[in-house]
Each structure stands twice: as structure tokens, then as C-alpha cells.
Structure 1
Amino acid sequence: MDFFNKTGKMALGSRLRLLTAKVTEDAAKIYEMYHVDFSPKWFPVFFILHHDGAKTITEIAEQIGHSQPSVTKIVKEMAKADLVEDNIKSQDKRRNVAGLTEKGSIIAKQMVEEQCADIDVAIDGIIAEATHNLWEALEEWEFLLEQKSMFKRVQEQKKLRESKDVQIVEYQPEHKEAFKALNEEWISTYFEMEDADYKALDNPEEYILNKGGKIFVALYDNEPLGVCALIKMDDPHYDYEMAKMAVSPKAQGKKMGWLLGQAVIQAAKELGASKIYLESNTILKPAINLYHKMGFEKVAGHQTPYKRCNIQMELNLKD
């Protein structure tokens, strides 16, 4: 259709719904042709009850991938048509099940012997005429979307596209306010500001830059929305610390944390560092996952000035 040529792949759902509507319309005509008073939407429930016998609403819903309210509604509709008997007592006397009535069983037998056989041959004919096997393609798509949903795939593309518009720059005096504000925002969300925080945030030049460290700023539309520092350490085990990483909630999904971390790691390598140290807290699960993704591993025993620190990590740059 010209409409779908214009919209492109973003109208996949609409196109599938249109195809479904066409198939469902034909299905209703096919039931009528075989003199069966039957709604196409009943078929999944009807098939399970014919194939497996009486089942509870929950069991049916699990097998056909529908919600329990949806199955309940269908069963009630089929009961009115005298195809299904609802609230049958099961053998253990504790569960109510639904099963086919005598009329339902007769129709099921007719469907299997006549209608289903004709439909199978007709669909095989379409498959033979078509370039692509829709039935196999649907199975493949269902599997792939179970592994990763369409939402997740689009979300990843959105992050990737927006991350390309993020610019990582080195700290300038005009970034001082943003460096402090962004850190205060995230620290205050989960913890309390401490003396060591104010020391670095109030005097970034003196505490970080003049001692051989660096600060990186993530800009999006020229607005500073993320920061991270590489602080020179006076420690026999570590050269530098990755610290004061903070990203505004407005920048969520733009991979700023990852981009800032990569900038810090690259700067540490250029400065000849062999290891980078960091401190965090395990309640910050996204941050901990990010550090692991960067290659940091958990260590212990290093003295910390922060009350909130309950995990210490290091990245070996010589590996």
C-alpha cells in the first residue's frame, strides 16, 4: 500500500493489525461457509479445550498467552453459544474448570476433519506462491522479540542517537557552578553532603586541577548535564581516582555516564596511570553496573573519607 510506503517500518504495528483484520474477516466467512456459528477470537481457547481437555481459566491463559480477564470473557461468550460448560468441578473438587459441551465437541470434530484440513492446504498454497514464508518468519520474530522487546530495541537506538549529540569537554571556569550543582543534586538524592564533598566541589581548581587531575563536562545542546573528575591520589597503590561523577536526570538515556567514564579512563592512560580507583555505594545499582561494564572490579581495605562509601573498585589499565 502507498500509505505504508510513505510511513516506512514505523507503521509495522498498523500493518500487522490491518493484515490481522483481513485474515479475521475471512475467518468469519470461512466459519459461515462451513455452517459453524463461531467467532474467530474464540479459536485459541476452543483449540486448547479440544486438544487438552477441561482446564482452568489460569491454565488456558498461560497456554495461549492471553490475560485471565480476556479468557474469562471468551469462555462466557462460548458458554452462551453452548460450546463450553463453565465452572465444572475437577477431580480434586477444589478447582473449577471449563470444558467443551457435547455441541462443542461435535463442532471440534467437524473442524478437524474438514475445515482445518482445507485451511492448511490453502495456507500452504500461499506459502508456495510467496517469496517469503510468513509462518516461519512469524516464529522467528516472536523468538527475537522474546529475547529483546521492540521497546528495548527502540530505546537502545534512542540512546545511541542522542549520545552522538553529547559533547565531552574539559572543565572551564564557567563550569564551576554546574560541577557543584550536579553533584549536590545526586548526592542529596541518596545521601548527605559531607565535608570531603564541599572541599572538592567548592574548590575544584585547588583540590583537583592544580594537583594534576582533570574534570570532564558532558554538554547536551551546550548545557552542562554531566560531570566527572580524575583526581590525583597520594597513594602507593593507586595513581588516580575516578570521582564526582554526576549526571542530571534530564540526561537519562543519553549514555553520559559511559562517555564521561571513557574520557576519564583515556585521560588516565595518557597520564601514564596503571590503576584507577573509585568509591561508591551498592544502592546505586545502575552506577555499579556501569563501573563493571567499564572493567572495574571490587577491592577492599582502602581508607575512605566518606561515610556513604560501602564499595571500592579498581581498574587495572595495564591488563
Structure 2
Amino acid sequence: MEFFNKTGKMAIGSRLRLLTEQITDDAANIYKAYGQQIQPKWFPVFFALSESDAKTITQIAKEIGHSHPSVSKIIREMTKAGLIEEAQQETDGRKTTVRLSAKGKENIASMEDQYTDVGNAIEELSTQANNDLWKAIEEWEYLLAQQSLFDRVKAKKKERESQYIQIVPFSNEYQQAFSDLNKEWISTWFKMEESDFKALDHPQSYILDKGGYIFVALYKNEPLGVCALQKMNDPDYDYELAKLAVSPKAQGKNLAWLLCQAIIEKARSLGARNLYLESNTILEPAIRLYHKLGFKKVAGRPSPYERSNIQMELTL
């Protein structure tokens, strides 16, 4: 169709839906042609019950890959049509099972010819096509089970946007951004503390002059993320990953990950043995990020911050 030639793969859902509707309409006509009293959408439930005496809704849903509410609705419709009846489970009378009624079972034998003819028609269609749709569906189902289309699109979004991202060393032109970005997130979740003001208002003397480093993430040349590598005066740790902040409008663009990677690589180049950080478990995305980077929780240590309730380390 010309419309889909214009939209390209963006309209994959709409195109598949049209194909599904066409096949479903044909299926409804096929059932009528063979004198069946079954709607196409009922077939998975009908087939599952035709192979056993009785099953619970949960068992059917698991077997055919539908949701429990979806199966419940189909069973209500088939019960109303007289094709299904309830039965008590023999091993547990508290559980209700369903089975095909006498009327429903009449369709089993009469459907054998329909199975044969539909199978042969689809086989003929497959031989006329350049690609085997059935095998392609199986392959797509497998691939999408490994990674959903949504996750794949998100990955491509990050990949595309990464070309606009630069991680650069701190300079005086970014001092205001360093301060503003950190104050924004701290004030959103907690309250500013004395040590915050010292580091954010005087990064040169508080971080850089003490052997630390600061990196800035630019998105389309705008500073939207910052992170510091602070030198620690501690026998157990060489440096601390600190002052990580990303603007809300840049979330989802991978800035935090890229900043942390730059900090870790800098620490390695300096010969650091490990990295330390402090955070709060209420910041779930940040904690997930740190775990993904390889940080592990360590026993509680004294902290200058009231908001800190978790300490983590990364062995380099």
C-alpha cells in the first residue's frame, strides 16, 4: 500500500493490525463455511480444552499465552454460547475448572476437515511467497522475547542522541552549571548542607586544588550534567565519585552513565585502587546505575551528609 510506503517501518503496528483483521475476517467466514459455532478469538481456548477433560483458567492462560482476564472473558462468552461448562476439580473442590460441554465437543470431530483444509491453504500460500511468514513470526517472537521493541527503540534513541553529547573537563565557564545542577536535585529530594555549599560554591579550592577532577556533560553544547572525582584523605579509599547531577530535561540521554564512565577511567589513569561513593536508597535510578557500573554496598561509614544512608565501592 502506498500509505505504508510513505510511513515506512514506523507503522509496523498498524500494518500488522490490518493483516490480522483481514485474516480474522477470513477465519470467521471459514468457521461459518464449515458450520462451526466458534468465533476465531475463541479457538485457542477451544483447542486447549479439546486436548484435556478440564482445566483452570490459570492453566489455560499460561498454555495459550493470554492474560487471565482475557481468558476469563472468552470463557464467559463461550459459556453463554453453550460450548463450555464449569466443573469442580477432583483433587481440590475449592478450585473451579472449565471443560467443553457436549455441544462444544461436537465441534472437535467436525473440525478435522477444517484443520486439514486450512493447513493446506496456508502451506500453498507459503510456497507462493518469497518468505515463510510462519517461520518469520517464530523468529520475531523469539527475538522480541530477548529484547522488546520498546527497549530496542530506547537503545537507538540513546545511540542517536549520543552524537550530540560531549564529556569535557571542568573550566570556569561551567562553574554556575556545576552549582545549579547539584543544588537543583539536592533541594528536590533533601536539603542543602554546609559541605554542599563549600563544594558547589568553591569547586576550585574544595575539589580541584586538592587533587580532584570535575567532568561536564554537554548536550548540544549545553551543560546538562556534571560529576566530580574527589581526592580522599582516607587509608581505605583513594577517590570518591561525588556531585553527580543531571538536568531533568536530559534524563534518558545516558549522560549519567557517560559521566561515571569518564570518572572511572580518570581514576584508573591516576592509578587509583578503588572508588567510593555515598548516596540514598530513595534515589532508585542512581542506585541501579551504580550497581550496573559494578559498585557494591559496603558497611556503613561515618558520613558528613545527613541524607546519606548507603555507601558503595568499586574495585578498579
Q: Give yes or no for TM over 0.5.
A: yes
1: CA distance between counterparts of 2:37 and 2:295?
65
Aligned residue number for residue 209 of structure 1: 208
2: CA distance between counterparts of 1:301 and 1:88?
58
Instruction: Give the secondary-structure state (helix, strand or coil) at the position aligned to 2:3.
Output: helix
Instruction: Give the secondary-structure state (helix, strand or coil) at the position aligned to 1:43.
Output: helix
Could you tell which deviates more after superposition, 27-36 or 162-171?
Answer: 162-171
Preserved CA contact (<8 Å) 2:295 2:312:
no
Aligned residue number for residue 98 of structure 2: 98
Q: CA deviation at 1:228?
A: 0.7
Aligned residue number for residue 272 of structure 2: 274
**Aligned partner letter, 2:286:** A
Query: What's the RMSD between the two structures over aligned residues?
Result: 2.5
Q: CA deviation at 1:34?
A: 1.1
Pairs within 5 Å for 1:124-139: 124-139=123-138
Q: CA deviation at 1:77?
A: 2.3
Could you tell which deviates more after superposition, 219-228 or 195-204?
Answer: 219-228
Could you tell which deviates more after superposition, 15-24 or 193-202?
Answer: 193-202
Cα distance per residue 1:48-89 (max 9 Å; x no partner): 11112322333322322223333233223222322222x333
Instruction: Give the secondary-structure state (helix, strand or coil) at the position aligned to 1:164.
Output: helix
Pairs within 5 Å for 1:94-243: 94-111=94-111, 113-235=112-234, 238-243=237-242
2: CA distance between counterparts of 1:62 and 1:296?
38
1: CA distance between counterparts of 2:76 and 2:41?
13
Preserved CA contact (<8 Å) 2:207 2:213:
yes
1: CA distance between counterparts of 2:233 and 2:28?
79
Preserved CA contact (<8 Å) 1:245 1:257:
yes
Pairs within 5 Å for 1:273-292: 273-281=271-279, 283=281, 284-292=283-291
Unaligned runs of 5+ in 1: none
**Aligned partner letter, 1:225:** L
**Aligned partner letter, 1:14:** S
Instruction: Give the secondary-structure state (helix, strand or coil) at the position aligned to 2:51.
Output: helix
How many pairs align?
313
**Aligned partner letter, 2:205:** E
Cα distance per residue 1:149-181 (max 9 Å; x no partner): 111111121122223212223323332232122
What TM-score do the two structures reach when normalised by structure 2?
0.87
Identity of aligned residues (%): 55
Could you tell which deviates more after superposition, 208-217 or 302-311?
Answer: 302-311
Preserved CA contact (<8 Å) 2:297 2:310:
no
- 1:248 has 2:260 as partner: no
